[in-house]
Amino acid sequence: MTIDAEWLAGRWEAVSSSPVQQSSANDGQRFQALLQQGRFEEAREIITSGSMEPTVAAKALSAAVHTSLGRIALLNNRESQAQSHFQTSIETLAPAWVTDNTVDMRVQEQLRQLDLPPRVPGTPYEESQRREWVGEAWLEAARGTFPKSTEILIALAEGSFLRKNYDEAIRHWQQLSAVMQGAMPQEFYNRLDKAYQAQGSFPSGTPDEEQLRGSMDKHKFLEAMHRDLDPDLYLEIGVQSGVSFRLARCQAIGVDPMPYPSLGLSKNHTLLQMTSDTFFDEEAEVWLVNSPDLVFIDGMHLFEFALRDFINVEKFSSKNTIVIMDDIFPGHPAQAERDRRTRAWTGDVWRLAHALREFRPDLQLDTLDVSPTGLLVIRNLDPDNVLLSQRYETIVEATLKTDLDLERYVERSNSIDPHKWLSESRLKM
């Protein structure tokens, strides 16, 4: 292949290693090729030796800048912009060679060098289609390399939203929350909320994967708890549409970064729109001067969030506080996946029962066969016990490795009938 053809495509190594010819156009091409490869010292020597006309050097520099801008445009799925930069780049050094074919040659070669999929020859270019397969492929590949990059997850979430792929957007925002944990800001929850609203209901898995069971509805159980325990102060993490929150007749504090609008609450209810982590960092001292008597934790369905919620709740509890944790029994292993893909989603909250049994044998733990996804009742709390917060990182690491018990949780081994539990637990005042 001639140096001209190599230069048109933009195969810079081949251009810079081709034998020197006595043509000022080839000088410019070789000079540009050095710049594109970052070989600036060699480029500088050519200038200082005076072996190249300054106007050719200036044109080659401009051609190099336009080629680089074209490559950046390709990475950002702006193919028309890339084409126009490549055209200007070719025009600057060799105006007579600009045709659709030569520009396309450069586009194809630069896509190849950037590991992006080629354009199918003869296929009309469609901006939206290209945005999907170039952008997503590139970002997904980058995510494989940097799984904890918040920027990549945000780009994937926003990209999915733009393409109206809302369940995908939800999944990416949730993945971001798993990376950012308690530091995930309210703005991102607002975006997650937008995706939830646009999605309507989350797509179902197979009927098998959506299986639910239990001998008493969780809201019926909570209603019985309010009646029997008659709490003075109730705290709820994860309010959503307020079905469980409205059951409280006493002073009640609800925390949720994405509550539904107009929940029909009464004067005794205070709803704080924020994450539970922010609540405990900034507000709990004000609202929990007295210990809550009953707490329902039903927030983010990831083990670390459930663990932090329990640790924080216990700090503000008394020995008599009763904590109820939702989603302890996934109906199917698919519901327990950390990346949501089923409508019924418990995430891996089930790991909390496992971790508390192992690290806090002093707590009284009862797992109840409640529908749809079980409840864990935690009693005998000790606000002075700092073991969980001191060993938080170790506990998370050790517990996330544990997959052994999931089947037992799906099968609800050792679960207690909630009717029996209510009649035997003597909560009535």
Ligand X SMILES: C[S@@+](CC[C@H](N)C(=O)[O-])C[C@H]1O[C@@H](n2cnc3c(N)ncnc32)[C@H](O)[C@@H]1O
Binding residues vs ligand X (CB under 6 A): 237-241, 243-244, 255-258, 275-276, 298-300, 305
Please, what is the minimum distance in Å from the beta carbon of residue 275 to ligand X?
4
Nearer Cβ to ligand X, position 79 or 298?
A: 298
The closest alpha carbon to 154, from 201, 182, 197, 192, belongs to 192
Nearer Cβ to ligand X, position 86 or 303?
A: 303
Q: Are 414 and 369 in contact (CB under 8 A)?
A: no
Q: List b or e across 163-200, with b for residues whose CB sees 16 or more CB atoms inside 10 angstroms.
A: eebbbbbbbbbbbbbbeeebebeeebbebbbbbbeebe
How far is the first Cα of the chain from the last one, in angstroms, to the nearest whole number?
A: 92
Q: How far apart are CA 222 and CA 297, in angstroms?
A: 12
Please, what is the minimum distance in Å from the beta carbon of residue 337 to ligand X?
16
Q: What are the tokens at 134? A: 């170039």
The closest alpha carbon to 372, from 413, 326, 307, 405, belongs to 326
Element (H, E) at 237: strand 233-237
Contacts of 404 (CB under 8 A, 6+ apart): none
Query: What are the DSSP calls for 92-151, one per residue?
Result: HH-GGG--HHHHHHHHHHHHHHTTPPPPPTTPPP-HHHHIIIIIHHHHHHHHHH-TT-HH
Please, what is the minimum distance in Å from the beta carbon of residue 57 to ligand X?
58
Please, what is the minimum distance in Å from the beta carbon of residue 269 to ligand X?
13
Nearer Cβ to ligand X, position 162 or 183?
A: 183
Please, what is the minimum distance in Å from the beta carbon of residue 258 to ligand X?
4
Please, what is the minimum distance in Å from the beta carbon of residue 240 to ligand X?
3
Nearer Cβ to ligand X, position 231 or 257?
A: 257
SS percent in the chain: helix, strand, coil, step 5: 55, 10, 35
The closest alpha carbon to 299, from 247, 353, 240, 352, belongs to 240
Other Cβ atoms closer than 10 A to 372:
18
Nearer Cβ to ligand X, position 70 or 205?
A: 205
The closest alpha carbon to 25, from 38, 8, 44, 48, belongs to 8
Nearer Cβ to ligand X, position 6 or 298?
A: 298
Q: Of all residues in this chain, which one has the CB nearest to ligand X in the complex?
A: 238
Nearer Cβ to ligand X, position 29 or 312?
A: 312
Nearer Cβ to ligand X, position 97 or 287?
A: 287
